[in-house]
Amino acid sequence: MTSSLPRRYKWELLMLLCAAFFFHQGDRAIFGVVLSAIRTDLHLTDSQLGLVGTVLFLTLALMMPLAGYLGDRMKKNRVITCSLLFWSSATLFTGCAQGIVGLVLLRSVATAGGEAFYAPAAYSLMAKFHQRTRALALSMHQGALYLGVMTSGFLGGWIAQQWGWRSAFYLFGGCGILLGLVFIVRLKDAPSETTSPLELLQTLGVIFRVPTAIMLTVGLTAIVFVNNAFMVWGPEFLREKKDLSLALAGGYSMFWHHLPALIGISIGGPLSDRWVLKRLTARLELQAVAMVLGVPSILLMALAPNLTVACTGLAAFGLFRGLYESNTHAALFDVIPPHRRGSAVAITVMIAFLAGSTSPWLLGRCRECFGNAHGLSYGFAGLSVAYLIGAVAVATARAAFFHRDRLPEASIA
């Protein structure tokens, strides 16, 4: 499949995609980090700020079917490169927004429209180059997400304090454009299987005919629902616990959550690759346990009486999130044939983000209803229910469906 390229290229590919995902998530996280500065400068309400996040995630969801279809039918390196250049340009121009309409169009619609095309093509391409090292590669790629968010937390907040919130968007967007120019030269594709024009509909049918895939979609939806709310409101939540600067609020919220998540994913990926050789259900078992342990972690974070306890809960929440996400796509690919994986990622992400798009707005409304002192605390506590539902779904897949649904790699390669 990839014999025309040097064997070591799979690691260069992984590093390139990690760099892209760094900006993919760093660009997305900036908004939450500089949210209070945007509110003051543009005179927006909490509901309006939540709406920006909700429209972003909703747009991302709605674009996913087309993104998956193109990711399976077009050259993946071209899809990924165009996506990177488009969302980076939208991020850069977000710094020019003058009101809620500009924020929604640039931050939500344009940025999400570009970001949507990245994941289906990127995950499918990594799966082709990495078979025996699949969970390791996907975990390293997910780790780039955490690094991007942590960096944007401290750096974005510091830049906003020094030169204003617009400068943070200019910097991250400009760097992404430069990386896109590197991709034009260095990002290669692997030969892809021939797919029919009905591929997207066929994949949708596969997703809903495979019970394990349905249950994994429920689990991903729970993760995304909580993550989306945290991405937008995390820094403001810590500002409720203690009056912090933009840099510290953004930095603490992203660092204390995503560093443990990076540790979790670094542990979960290699371990599951090893365990699955002896125990086929190992990926699902790790995910179910991680979500169960995530429930009290979220509650501890949300209801903490002070900043120290909140950061402790935040770190535990991040660790268990990382353990789950180390197998998000590896587990799905165990029950989906290779030529439909790009579309399968698109469909599952679409469903997850359709539901998850509501959480930023809901937390904004919660803050308006219960006040600045406790609104976000009550909102995040309620989100723990999503993790419990996700844990039940993944455990059900492991107990009832996976052994029947699993497709051995040798029989589908």
What residues have CB less than 8 Å from 308, skipping those under 6 apart?
A: none
DSSP 109: I
Residue 40: pLDDT over 80:
yes
What pLDDT digit, counting tens, does each position of 174-225 carry? 999 999 999 999 998 876 554 454 455 665 666 788 899 999 999 999 999 9
**161-169 average pLDDT score:** 92
Better pLDDT: 243 or 265: 265
Q: Residue 344: how many CA atoms within 13 Å on its side-chain side?
A: 27
Q: With contact defined as beta carbons under 8 Å apart, do 283 and 331 qualify?
A: yes
Cβ contacts of 396-402, under 8 Å, gap ≥ 24:
396/215, 397/211, 397/212, 397/215, 397/216, 397/284, 398/281, 398/284, 398/285, 398/288, 400/211, 401/210, 401/211, 401/212, 401/215, 402/212, 402/280, 402/281, 402/284, 402/334, 402/335
- Per-residue confidence (pLDDT) for residue 289, from 0 to 100: 96
Q: Is 244 helix (H, G, I), strand (E, B) or coil?
A: coil
Residue 165: pLDDT over 80:
yes
- Per-residue confidence (pLDDT) for residue 284, from 0 to 100: 95
Least confident of 19-23, 191-195, 271-275, 378-382: 191-195
28-32, 45-49, 125-129, 161-165 — most confident range: 161-165
Superfamily of domain 9-412: MFS general substrate transporter like domains (1.20.1250.20)
Q: How far apart are CA 260 and CA 255, in angstroms?
A: 8
Average pLDDT value over all residues in the chain: 86
- Helix, strand, coil percent content, the chain, rounded in steps of 5: 85, 0, 15
What pLDDT digit, counting tens, does each position of 227-243 carry? 989 988 888 888 877 77
Q: What is the largest CA-CA distance in the chain?
A: 60
Structure tokens at 84: 């990177």
What pLDDT digit, counting tens, does each position of 98-143 carry? 999 999 999 888 888 888 899 888 888 887 887 777 767 877 887 8
46-60, 111-125, 247-261, 321-335 — most confident range: 321-335
What residues have CB less than 8 Å from 350, skipping those under 6 apart?
A: 61, 62, 64, 65, 68
